[in-house]
Amino acid sequence: MSRIGKLPVKFSEKVTMKIDQDNIIVKGPKGELALGLSKNINLTIENNTLFVKPVTKEPQVLKLFGTYRSIINNMVIGVTKGFEKRLELQGVGYRAQLQGKDLSLSVGYSHPVIIKAPTGINIAVENNTIVIISGISKELVGQIASNIRSIKPPEPYKGKGIRYVGEFVRKKAGKAGKK
């Protein structure tokens, strides 16, 4: 049985939850998110607290109900506070610029790489080297940050590339010279 799944999801008066048969809709000051539900998960709301319970004791259901609780909790956090990921560009000549809502990266290729921001995601640039991705969906913010990082991941010899702020990249020693 999941320990995380047993914990209730508490939310403020600013957040409203609506449970249909197959969906849960969470609305808050920053926006609205929806999630499709499994028929094996039972949700109840009492006094601004949501309880997630499995319908059966099957192993697959017991694995899923903690996941559903975490996703719903992230939805509540997203519509109240939002999520943010920061990426930094390291390398000579590496820079980022905004072109309208699109992000243009110059990271050592012969052409700039353009990333279109999907709806619900805000992209900002600080000092031409820090890219800030923010939005209400934790999954979407993380996926966009991962996609941007995969354009030029940090290499282990000089450390050039795109990395998360605070990420440590272990550097390798170069080739040993001939004696």
The DSSP-derived string for 147-171 is HHHHHSPPPTTT--EEEETT---PP
In a domain, 179, yes or no: no
Total domains in the fold of the chain: 2
Whether residue 177 lies inside any domain: the answer is no
Of 39, 59, 80, the domain-final residue: 80
Q: What is the pLDDT of residues 139-179, one digit of tens each?
A: 999 999 999 999 999 988 888 999 999 888 888 888 876 66
Q: Which has more confidence, 12 or 131?
A: 131
- Look up the pTM and report it: 0.85
Q: Cα–Cα distance between 145 and 98 in angstroms, integer? A: 15
Whole-number Å distance between alpha carbons of 63 and 124: 37
Domain range holding 51? 3-80
61 and 90 in a single domain? The answer is no
For residue 124, the domain's CATH number is 3.90.930.12
Residue 96 · residue 108 · CB < 8 Å = no
**Are 69 and 96 within one domain?**
no
